[in-house]
């Protein structure tokens, strides 16, 4: 089952602009992770935010997490053409029980125009 | 450099044939995973293994089988029982369950 759902499905911006992608989920989580996938390649891990954290930064990436709304956002600042890719959120369920795995959303396709 | 190697990059299956996708990692990770990705879709978990000689079904295990005889290797067999096998298959590994996953570059399986 897919718990994380990204919004929008596709986003097209000009180079230098900021890109914001959102992820909503349904059940409690241990952590939430964002990944990037270039066309025809495997996924690359970008950033992990734990359920007790509200914001995290890594270079031009900023991730927020609102557990009360069960949502997260990924902000890419000063975008570059090389940022063109699909971006996925993945929720890591509670450590106990059957949810000992990541559940990926369907992704946001980001296109950065030069 | 440590990483995950998937082979082959492209694979073709005939009707009624079983095919095996290879996945090898030299990251010394305990956990390994197999995902299926259909065009424009996210990843769906087929099988995962937390430790050698142990593996668990994911959301879409029917028509697939795996083995985990060595820590480094987690091959996936797509059996003839999988009626719609055309997809992009991704293997991943992590230090432990729920940790960030490292991915291979995938195998694209098509039906002849």
- Whether B33 and A101 lie within 8 Å, measured CB to CB: yes
pLDDT digits (tens), chain A, 114 positions: 446 788 899 999 999 999 999 999 998 899 999 999 999 999 999 999 999 999 999 999 999 999 999 999 999 999 999 999 999 999 987 655 555 688 999 999 999 999
Residue B49 tokens read as: 């293994």
pLDDT at B99: 92
A and B: number of Cβ contacts within 8 A = 56
Question: Is A51 at the interface with chain B, CB within 8 A?
Answer: no
Establish if A80 touches chain B: CB-CB under 8 angstroms: no
In this predicted structure, the answer to whether residue B11 has a pLDDT above a threshold of 50 is yes
Give the model's pLDDT for residue A2: 47
Predicted pLDDT of residue A83: 98
CA-closest candidate to residue A44, choices A56, A30, A27, A61: A61
pLDDT band at B39 (very low <50, low <70, confident <90, very high): confident
Q: Does A1 touch chain B (CB under 8 A)?
A: yes
Report the pLDDT value the prediction gives residue A97, as an integer from 0 to 100.
Answer: 55
pLDDT tens for residues B55-112? 999 999 999 999 999 999 999 999 998 889 999 999 999 998 889 999 999 999 998 8
Alpha-carbon gap: B18 to the closest alpha carbon of chain A (Å): 24
Residues of B in contact with A41 (CB under 8 A): 105-106
User: pLDDT value at position B75?
Assistant: 98
Which H or E run contains A19?
Answer: strand A19-24
Cα separation, B86 vs B110, in Å, equals 5
Q: How far is CA B26 from CA B45, B71, B101, in A?
A: 22, 9, 14
């Amino acid at each position: 089952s897919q718990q994380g759902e990204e919004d929008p499905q596709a986003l097209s911006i000009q180079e230098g602009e900021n890109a914001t992608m959102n992820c909503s989920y349904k059940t409690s989580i241990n952590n939430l992770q964002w990944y990037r996938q270039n066309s025809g390649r495997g996924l690359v891990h970008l950033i992990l935010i734990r359920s007790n954290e509200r914001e995290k930064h890594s270079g031009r990436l900023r991730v927020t997490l609102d557990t009360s709304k069960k949502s997260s956002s990924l902000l890419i600042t000063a975008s570059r053409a090389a940022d063109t890719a699909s971006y996925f959120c993945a929720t890591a369920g509670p450590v106990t029980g059957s949810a000992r795995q990541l559940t990926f959303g369907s992704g946001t396709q980001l296109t950065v125009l030069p | 450099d440590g990483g995950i190697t998937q082979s082959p990059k492209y694979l073709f299956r005939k009707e009624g044939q079983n095919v095996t996708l290879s996945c090898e990692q030299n990251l010394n990770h305990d956990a390994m995973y197999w995902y299926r990705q259909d065009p424009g879709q996210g990843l769906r978990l087929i099988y995962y293994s937390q430790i050698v000689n142990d593996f668990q079904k994911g959301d879409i295990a029917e028509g697939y089988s795996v083995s985990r005889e060595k820590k480094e290797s987690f091959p996936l067999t797509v059996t003839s029982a999988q009626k719609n096998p055309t997809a992009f298959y991704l293997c991943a590994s992590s230090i432990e369950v729920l940790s960030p996953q490292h991915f291979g570059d995938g195998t694209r399986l098509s039906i002849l």
